[in-house]
Amino acid sequence: MSERYSRQVLFPGIGKAGQEKISAKHVLMIGAGALGSGNAEILTRAGVGKITIIDRDYVEASNLQRQQLYTEEDVAEKLPKAAAAEKRLKAINSEVEIAAIIGDATPLLLEELVGGVDLIIDATDNFETRMAINDVSQKYNIPWIYGACVGSFGMSFVILPGKTPCLNCLLRTIPLQGMTCDTGGIIAPTVQMVISHQTAEAIKILVEDWDAVRTSFVSFDLWRNQYTSLKMSKAKVAGCLSCGEERTYPYLDHENMMKTSVLCGRDTVQIRPSKQGEISLEKLSGQLTSLGYVVKGNPYLLSVEMGEERMVIFNDGRALIHGTKDITHAKTIYHRILG
């Protein structure tokens, strides 16, 4: 047993047996922003065997106030968050296997990745992805931990298939937060509080101390000094299509997954091609430069300046068009650049 985990092993709730279980587990992290980077760092330091991180975005200056894994250098290089997180986490603990995926957590990708996963942690910023996580959790019997925060308000809930209500059930009972940090702001202590709730429950699950797992819905407002814990056992719906008696997992219907979407709270449209495939960023950079565009890039993406708008293109053909919420206009830009 590595000396680096000695203080954790001394804790009665974990011990040597618990640490061995932690080191054998695989956690799937959806999102590498504020919640994702904090969750990933704590679990990496705790010695989880493998952590797979999925994120579609890159590091920007506004992230540095609360997204603890990233630096000004990552901003300057426009590194994808998943790649920057992988580099930092490997430097923190080389014993942990880190797998970074730069892309969207689509239902198709989630179903490809869940084999051998012991726990899913929600660190995303949109309900389309959360509902897909929820259905994957129920279909493959994998626990997942919901978390969200905005301003000084945060919330978290552990979803155990077959035991607790799922997110689809929960939406009928609790009006979950609709604002985002891009519209309502965010303070770092709120992020840290949600991370603490998520990682505490994650470690309980990883050591298989099921009796210790919190099954109540937690919410708090640090600025107003409010804290609430609600029992949710009665929220389970027998007819729920995600976890009920005749479940159909509606959010895993690949045809229902949007290929074009406005990113939550931002003047940015994401366009995901119907057919994923690697593109040559080096070749594309040369073509766009010859046409007079200002192009900057790294091995993961290209940034193309277009007056007040900017297009960021990833290896898989996915693109972010910054400076607009107009999907039709964004599509026009996309086809003008990528054909």
Which residues are identified as catalytic?
A: 181
* DSSP per residue, 253-266: -GGGS-SEEEPTTS
Q: Beta 226-231 vs 119-122: how paired, if at all?
A: unpaired
Q: What is the largest CA-CA distance in the chain?
A: 65
* Two tokens, residue 134: 């929820």
Cα–Cα distance, 273 to 259 (Å, whole number): 7
Cα–Cα distance, 69 to 217 (Å, whole number): 28
* Two tokens, residue 64: 């540095």
8 Å CB contact between 123 and 29: yes
* DSSP per residue, 53-101: EEE--B--GGGTTT-TT--HHHHHHT-BHHHHHHHHHHHH-TTSEEEEE
Residue 31, phi-psi category: left (phi > 0), alpha (psi -120 to 50), beta (remainder):
left
Cα–Cα distance, 229 to 60 (Å, whole number): 34
* DSSP per residue, 295-324: EEEETTEEEEEETTEEEEEETTS-EEEET-
